[in-house]
Structure 1
Amino acid sequence: MEFSQPDDNNNFSLTRFESMLKTNHVLFFDSNEFENIIHHYLESGKIALAKKAIKLGLEQHPTSVNLKLFLSEIFILENKFSEADELLNEIHIVEPSNEEIYIQKASVFSKQDEHKKAIDTLKIALKINQGDEGITDLFALIGMEYLFLDQFESAREYFSKCLALDLEDYSALYNIIYCYDFLDQNNEAIEFLNIYLDKNPYCEVAWHQLGRQYFTIKDYDKALAAFDFAIISDDKFVGAYLEKGKVLEKKKSYTEAIENYKITLALDEPTSFALLRIGHCHEKLGQDDLAVQYFYRTVHEDPLLDKGWIAITKFYNKNRNFQKALFYINKAINIDGENVIYWKLYAQINHRLNFLEEAERGYKKALDLGNYELQTWLSRTDLLIAIGEYEASILNLIQAAEFYPETAEIEFRLAGLHFTLHENSKGHYHLKNALLLDHEFDFILEELFPNVLKKPSVQQLISETKK
């Protein structure tokens, strides 16, 4: 539906309408006035007021198709699909060639995940439209429905139709590139963007997207050139400076990268991303004091950014200040307790502080979250051994063996544990397996089970295998 632009008359109508609501004194408005009032409230997100205006409007103009279409739009917003469908069918009898009916019917289908039906319905609206104003909106709606179906080639076709009609439809441009990205067609995206830039050479959005494509295929020199052109087209384009900084980091030009990130801080409110990247660049340059200053600024800017807390954690961990590292890894875990990397770092820091039970808890949490790397199993086992939890150690290794069968490092540990628990037959069984798999790992017994290594039967078995 089309509406006149806000003007003094519209403002006067709105003022009269709101005055009427306050006084309960019913005033007359023509249907166009009601349409503009309703449109204003919907655009402002004032749904309750829009509903009041629709109700009063239909009381004064019960045959108005546009007011009924507004009512069906409200039904769709409130997921009252049967009511919307019934009303749209009623309107269709009166105005079968009204494309808005089909657009709203398509919206009902789409909200019920019937995207194929939505597309078919929108294509009927397209036939009715026959090239009138608003056709680009229909192309965009069809493109979005194809996206919902993961039919990216078809989606791209319809977004391309939008762009053909309006070269500066950047929403369509972004969606086209999204389709190329999803299909991993970076080279095709580059070709498309270069053709587009021939027609619209000062489009900073296209240069920015071209730079991202070159960055993805690791052609950093061309990426850098593209971001420079984006900046020439718009020297206040924050995104281009950020992306240029990322490219310069890849090229190990850390000082230049810092300069570009700092430009973004001057152009706009400081972003935690830019502050964090500046910190990492200073760290790469060996400027630790500046690095940690920017890491602290990062978390000050965004206290919920776990990557900021992790950067500080790693900084102190590297500098062997484990108490501070522990304090900050706990901050990160409080923000994202499902991150395996954080729990492993938590375990390592606690281990260095000799907090063995907490370290074991960290590795267990990593395993619970699906981190089944061999080293995680082994690290947890060694901690359980250190705190005397032998049965738990065996259970942990049995689980590990399901993922890593016939692994000498597991078998040597199982042997040592069973001997420690005086289960000699099991100990000999696992020791034989371990020695057959790789006898060079026999140092595990010396490190973890020195008393077991002193057993004559163990010594004999090892020496026989090495002959």
Structure 2
Amino acid sequence: MTEDFDNHSDQEKELVKRFEDSLSANLNLFFGEEELEDIIRYYHDHFKYRKALKTSEWALSKFPFSIEIKLLMAQSHIFLDEVEEGLEILENLNNISPNNEDIVLTLANAMSILDQNSDAIQLLQNFIPLAEDKAEVFYLLGNFYRIENKNREAIECLKEAVKLKINHEDALFQLAMLTDEEGSFDEILNFYQEFIDQDPYNANAWYNLGVVYNRLGKFEDAIAAYDYALLIDDTFSSAYFNLGNALMNTNQYEKALEAYLNTINCEGSNAENCCYLAASYEKLDQIDMAFKYFKKSAKLDSEYDDAWFGLGMCMIKKKKYFEAIHYFKKAIKLTAENANYWVGLADAEYELGNLQSSSEAYEEAINLEPGILETYVNLSLIYFDQNRFEEAEDVIMEGLEELPEEASLYYRLVVYMIKTGKYKEAFSILENALTLDFEKHTLLYELMPELEQQKAIYKIINQYREGFKE
């Protein structure tokens, strides 16, 4: 599940700093081959691929026959989308050092990126008997078969990967995705049940069963499976974490909070588990504690956007809208494609009376993720409050294209149409709304109280009231 987001030791950071200072000052200090490999991997892990490539070139000037540094150079090229350059290096390496597992796996990935999936599959199929980490080979094969739309072969390969390494989370995830697409959940449930029948005290098997139930939306079954895993191994941090998620999905927030605390006790604090713990505090309306852990999450990883969003939501609940805007903008700067972040920003701007900024943020949310009811309702209300009734009407019409069964949108549309003098269309829309959900008709009076005295409206509602009573 979760790992420390900064899994590099202070010693490694110091090594990188010493290397960079040496280059800057032209000191030409000595660095061993393994030290240079660690520096390049550090750059890979921090997405600094250009630096990784330059370092690998520099390292090869010192260690020109290093297979590992050449492999890291090839990987750097691939990460930089210079795949053909990387492939050329890998093919040379494969000739020099045939059956080197790292080279073969990287070569297969490069072939796949260049749409040479058949060649990549053939390469891995031939390599299976020689592979030390057969689980990883089957996992990659599963991915390549999936790209080729050979889902049955992909499922079988992913199953093999899980059989060999039952806690292979990437294989488990892909298997869950594939079985979701294929609708073959019974098959995968039976697959994990076989593991449990053979070894009922296998915590990983129970955990995997929980993952599948969770994907099916059977959260109570997932909770039971995670509980079994934890009875067997009470230090299983991933099981605690997923248990917390399933409990959140069933509104059992206090138990979820306990599960997240257990996660942290097992694996230590990181940005993800602190953020989820904060969310459970928020659901329990313990806003100060929620703020504390969202803040801790952001401190552990300043690029963890969910934490900044959570801080914004805490400020909304505290009615500190200026602060909320600051946090929402931090989240958006990191991940501008998340519609919920724009909705949060829009809500805060609205509360401060910044209607233009609010409407722009709601529009951005709608563009990113059509179908969020709140965005259409709130944006239409901004226009309604400004007597821009036709624009309010347009927003609701747009919302109805995405949410055609949402009665509240029809009732709002009735009011906006009446405001623009479209009585005939409004009465027709009202009949649709009353058919969908009669009880929500009071929305009409909340938006436009004088409608309670409108005879034509009263007559239509009364007709449907009689039918509703029956």
Match of residue 56 from structure 2 = 47
Q: Which amino acid aligns with 2:121?
A: I
Of 264-273 and 433-442, more deviation after overlay is shown by 433-442
Q: Which amino acid aligns with 1:331?
A: Y
SS in 2 for 1:258: helix
1:225 to 1:75, Cα distance in 2 relative to 1, 3 A: closer
1:170 to 1:152, Cα distance in 2 relative to 1, 3 A: farther
Match of residue 114 from structure 1 = 116
Q: How many angstroms does 1:191 deviate by?
A: 2.0
Q: How many angstroms does 1:248 deviate by?
A: 4.2
SS in 2 for 1:240: helix
SS in 2 for 1:113: coil
* TM-score (norm: length of structure 1): 0.62
Q: Which amino acid aligns with 1:275?
A: C
1:337-364 deviations in whole A, cap 9, x for unaligned?
4433343344444444544444434433
1:17-57 deviations in whole A, cap 9, x for unaligned?
xxxxx99xxxxxxxxxxxxx989976874633664477569
Trace 1:275-354 onto structure 2 (pairs within 5 A). Answer: 275-282=274-281, 287=286, 290-315=289-314, 317-318=316-317, 321-322=318-319, 324-336=320-332, 337-354=336-353
Match of residue 190 from structure 2 = 191
Q: Distance in 1 between matches of 2:83 and 2:253?
A: 56
Matching of residue 433 in structure 1 with residue 442 in structure 2: no
Q: Distance in 2 between matches of 1:446 and 1:286?
A: 28
Q: How many angstroms does 1:228 deviate by?
A: 3.9
Structure 1 residue runs without a partner (length 5+): 1-21, 24-36, 58-66, 418-426, 454-458
Matching of residue 413 in structure 1 with residue 416 in structure 2: yes
Match of residue 466 from structure 2 = none
Q: Distance in 1 between matches of 2:442 and 2:65?
A: 87
Q: Distance in 1 between matches of 2:459 and 2:213?
A: 60
Does the Cα contact within 8 Å between 1:231 and 1:237 map onto a contact in 2? yes
1:449 to 1:366, Cα distance in 2 relative to 1, 3 A: farther
Matching of residue 175 in structure 1 with residue 171 in structure 2: yes
Trace 1:332-411 onto structure 2 (pairs within 5 A). Answer: 332-336=328-332, 337-371=336-370, 376-377=375-376, 379-387=378-386, 390=388, 393-395=389-391, 397-398=393-394, 400-401=396-397, 404=400, 409-410=412-413
Q: Distance in 2 between matches of 1:465 and 1:234?
A: 63
Does the Cα contact within 8 Å between 2:316 and 2:324 map onto a contact in 1? no
Does the Cα contact within 8 Å between 2:321 and 2:351 map onto a contact in 1? no
* TM-score (norm: length of structure 2): 0.61
Of 81-90 and 305-314, more deviation after overlay is shown by 81-90
Q: Distance in 2 between matches of 1:259 and 1:245?
A: 8
Q: Distance in 2 between matches of 1:375 and 1:353?
A: 18
Of 76-85 and 194-203, more deviation after overlay is shown by 76-85
Q: Which amino acid aligns with 1:413?
A: Y
Does the Cα contact within 8 Å between 1:73 and 1:104 map onto a contact in 2? no
Q: Distance in 2 between matches of 1:237 and 1:90?
A: 40
Of 237-246 and 73-82, more deviation after overlay is shown by 73-82
Q: How many angstroms does 1:237 deviate by?
A: 2.6
Q: Distance in 1 between matches of 2:245 and 2:415?
A: 46
Q: Which amino acid aligns with 2:419?
A: G
SS in 1 for 2:269: coil
Match of residue 267 from structure 1 = 266
Q: Distance in 2 between matches of 1:307 and 1:103?
A: 34
1:332 to 1:38, Cα distance in 2 relative to 1, 3 A: same
Does the Cα contact within 8 Å between 2:417 and 2:426 map onto a contact in 1? no
SS in 2 for 1:183: helix
Q: Distance in 1 between matches of 2:290 and 2:86?
A: 60
Q: How many angstroms does 1:269 deviate by?
A: 3.0
Q: Which amino acid aligns with 2:328?
A: A
Q: How many angstroms does 1:86 deviate by?
A: 11
Q: How many angstroms does 1:160 deviate by?
A: 4.2
Q: Distance in 2 between matches of 1:122 and 1:248?
A: 41
Structure 2 residue runs without a partner (length 5+): 1-27, 41-54, 405-409, 435-440, 464-470
Q: How many angstroms does 1:331 deviate by?
A: 1.0
Q: How many angstroms does 1:414 deviate by?
A: 4.7
1:144-190 deviations in whole A, cap 9, x for unaligned?
422443533212323444566xx44744x751552243322443323
Does the Cα contact within 8 Å between 2:141 and 2:157 map onto a contact in 1? yes
Q: Distance in 1 between matches of 2:295 and 2:90?
A: 58
RMSD, matched Cα: 5.1
How many residues align? The count is: 391
SS in 1 for 2:174: helix
- Higher alpha-carbon Rg: 1
Does the Cα contact within 8 Å between 2:74 and 2:89 map onto a contact in 1? no
Does the Cα contact within 8 Å between 2:83 and 2:114 map onto a contact in 1? no
Match of residue 156 from structure 1 = 155
1:61-105 deviations in whole A, cap 9, x for unaligned?
xxxxxx8x997996686457489669959998x99xx66798787
1:187-212 deviations in whole A, cap 9, x for unaligned?
33232223224455554433322222
Q: How many angstroms does 1:133 deviate by?
A: 5.6
Of 108-117 and 403-412, more deviation after overlay is shown by 403-412
Does the Cα contact within 8 Å between 1:73 and 1:84 map onto a contact in 2? no
Q: How many angstroms does 1:462 deviate by?
A: 8.1
Match of residue 14 from structure 2 = none
Q: How many angstroms does 1:115 deviate by?
A: 0.6
1:41 to 1:206, Cα distance in 2 relative to 1, 3 A: farther
Q: Distance in 1 between matches of 2:270 and 2:74?
A: 40
Q: Which amino acid aligns with 2:237?
A: V
Match of residue 208 from structure 1 = 207
1:296 to 1:86, Cα distance in 2 relative to 1, 3 A: closer
Q: Distance in 2 between matches of 1:297 and 1:86?
A: 43
Does the Cα contact within 8 Å between 1:360 and 1:380 map onto a contact in 2? yes
| Paired-residue identity, % | 20
Q: Which amino acid aligns with 1:181?
A: M
1:449 to 1:370, Cα distance in 2 relative to 1, 3 A: farther
Does the Cα contact within 8 Å between 1:347 and 1:360 map onto a contact in 2? yes
Does the Cα contact within 8 Å between 1:193 and 1:206 map onto a contact in 2? yes
Q: How many angstroms does 1:402 deviate by?
A: 6.0
